[in-house]
Structure 1
């Protein structure tokens, strides 16, 4: 049986020798393409959120829960708010990968220069100006001389509120602008130690919900809201409907007009595309329902942001989730989607290799037979160039050499499909042997 195995229709050893270099080239190409396309996203990502009891902090927990389902850990990093988040994203030494940033916080050119991309607008963040009931304020110019808390500089509110005051002809120095964080500022307002405070947040923030229902605290009505949107394109006009907080108690007792920037997800442009896709999908689930100021599926959107929108996010808003991710687990779908480069590279290699390897295999097998023809040719040259006085010595030696060649040829293992090459060689050996034998007889006579 071991001898029979030598005689097959296919030589695995010769095929491996012929195809080995090509296989190494294909493997090297796959590894290079795998490294270039980076199909596996990091297992953790750092998200900058906001202050305690803020909407950003609550949303950070929701995003962490959504990505945990696909084994991505979201490290939440508290901050003062939008401006601090933006500064962390701009800082190359910062560990923050993605953050909540308020629209109007930067410019398009600046965002491009520092390498930031938007994943879309998530929801409107109305400007909430809460005042104590004793303050009858119908215009912002009436705030002069009051103590209004706008929050720390790390939030987006101070710069935004200064812009709003400026178009009302009010200088920041004409009133006292406090810098307390949201929770301490609320305590101060309820204690009557400040006249008012300003938030810019989604309505589901706990402090907003509480103040909307607190007796003695009233909300400022931006009656000129539409005019503000003309002056500041990043603002939109939203209406807080009568009774939306509590229909039974008729809170609020009338419609309130508010001005609102939008909250956006902003990331460093080198954030892994798979993570961008996951965050956008999570945003669609978290913010896609109807809210106090938006219709169902109105958010998230690629609109209302001055920061360039990531191509991955744009594709999602246009076409929805990637096809494979609708049917396969995230890791497997992401692998196939990202490895198309490998498929292209393999196609570019395999097509020419499929034409080269078969001839190489044939040449490798036949070379085991053809190399003995060199030996036969050497025997023929030896008997043709011998001097008459040496013929008696040379002819027997070459005949013995032919016997050795034949013995070694008989030990060659070759696929059956090439057996005619082997039998042809053996017949040629016999042909040369007969010629030497004939010369020996002639020399003996």
Structure 2
């Protein structure tokens, strides 16, 4: 066992490379590279946050239901979506501007491109159509919106976006809002008021999945207004589209509704602040494709989500998704692993910027460390020579100088340097012998 250890020790001593000195020489370089990479990782391309706040809508609204679906979809990638109820589109828009939420459902026609850019808002795409549902009691005889004058109509709170929308619809009919008895109840209280006769009608703008829409479409004594001039509305108000509620779509067995209804519809848009992390934009657009990509009452398979039908500029990441599909790595990896590799490209820039100049520094530092082991003994030799000169003729000090030289030589023999520097070690030993000869010559004299 002892001979084997001796062999290993000799191999280590007479190696062509000193691993310890190489590591010491590389240490500052590696530290600088790590610091630069960490700084780039955190500052240049920070990791996406694990929490995001989504503003939805009123109780029993389609926005509320879809918000739950988005929260469930992003939870699969360990992203917590906090749902914040609101009055509706206008309220959501204001919360985005105030920075209280990161992303929200906003109805088309709620703003314009100039305002959206000024407020720092971007669209992630249009999700679905939100028909304007005007429900009236059967006793109310209305075939044209001009006949709403004097009736008690609920448009909901200002934050819902419906008042702004329906007032534009009234305006193209030449009807002033003050000619109606407008109330501002929220969806659920307004529905109860319609059923008990406290109001004559109410206006919703929502996807058909909303529970209150489903209920009112099947409630006896309640009828849906038919926008027979729907195509004309879309020409006068470009943010609206013409959709048809097909006969029997609610209940084929009971033939509800008993005929086709022409409706006008803005679109629901997923809107975010422009500082939302790009990776989260990708996740939300992918979730939107899963949630809204199927066929529905007013849409064909794959029609939504889409970058069209929105006056708000579409985010670059969302536009890229609609053009090219999901990012390449996310097609084959989980979100966080794909995001890790995508961010690695940012780290390569400072890494290359540092490695090129620092690679020229490491070799000289390594050489200096090896040579310093040899050079430091020259200081000891010089000290012996100076003492020899200082005590010339004093023979009592000479044995002590010889012992010091023997000690230096012994310690030099224990010094290990790579084979490439062995010539310097042998040269040092010859110089030690040279000084020893001078001391002996002085003793002989």
Q: Give the TM-score taking structure 2 as reference length.
A: 0.89
Aligned twin of 1:46: 53
CA distance in 2 between counterparts of 1:344 and 1:195 reads: 67
Counterpart among 423, 427, 430 of residue 426 in structure 2: 423
Aligned twin of 2:160: 155
Q: Which piece of structure 1 moves more, 193-202 or 362-371?
A: 362-371
Aligned twin of 2:29: 22
Residues 41, 275 of structure 1: 8 Å contact kept: yes
- The Cα of 1:357 is off from its aligned counterpart by 1.5
Aligned twin of 2:111: 106
CA distance in 1 between counterparts of 2:216 and 2:417 reads: 91
Aligned twin of 1:291: 296
Residues 148, 198 of structure 1: 8 Å contact kept: yes
What do residues 1-34 of structure 1 show as CA deviations (whole Å, max 9, x unaligned)? 3754444443233123211111221121122112
Counterpart among 227, 241, 245 of residue 240 in structure 1: 245
CA distance in 2 between counterparts of 1:311 and 1:132 reads: 47
Residues 37, 339 of structure 1: 8 Å contact kept: no
CA distance in 2 between counterparts of 1:308 and 1:381 reads: 84
Counterpart among 397, 406, 411 of residue 408 in structure 1: 411
Aligned twin of 2:373: 368
1:365-404 pair list within 5 angstroms: 365-373=370-378, 390=392, 402-404=405-407
**What's the secondary structure of 1:53's corresponding residue?**
coil
Aligned twin of 2:18: 11
- The Cα of 1:179 is off from its aligned counterpart by 1.1
Residues 276, 313 of structure 1: 8 Å contact kept: yes
- The Cα of 1:344 is off from its aligned counterpart by 2.0
1:55 pairs with 2:62: yes
1:123 pairs with 2:128: yes
Residues 45, 346 of structure 2: 8 Å contact kept: no
1:353 pairs with 2:358: yes
Counterpart among 226, 240, 251 of residue 231 in structure 2: 226
Please, which runs of 5 or more residues in structure 2 have no aligned partner? none
CA distance in 2 between counterparts of 1:250 and 1:50 reads: 31
**What's the secondary structure of 1:355's corresponding residue?**
coil
1:68 pairs with 2:75: yes
Aligned twin of 2:309: 304
- The Cα of 1:375 is off from its aligned counterpart by 5.3
Residues 241, 255 of structure 1: 8 Å contact kept: yes
Counterpart among 239, 256, 264 of residue 251 in structure 1: 256
Please, which runs of 5 or more residues in structure 1 have no aligned partner? none
Counterpart among 257, 276, 280 of residue 275 in structure 1: 280
Q: Give the TM-score taking structure 1 as reference length.
A: 0.89
- The Cα of 1:170 is off from its aligned counterpart by 0.3
**What's the secondary structure of 2:134's corresponding residue?**
strand
**What's the secondary structure of 2:360's corresponding residue?**
helix
What do residues 180-220 of structure 1 show as CA deviations (whole Å, max 9, x unaligned)? 11122222222333221111001111121222223332222
Change (3 A) 1:390 1:429: closer
Aligned twin of 2:145: 140
What do residues 352-374 of structure 1 show as CA deviations (whole Å, max 9, x unaligned)? 33333133212211221234345
- The Cα of 1:36 is off from its aligned counterpart by 0.8
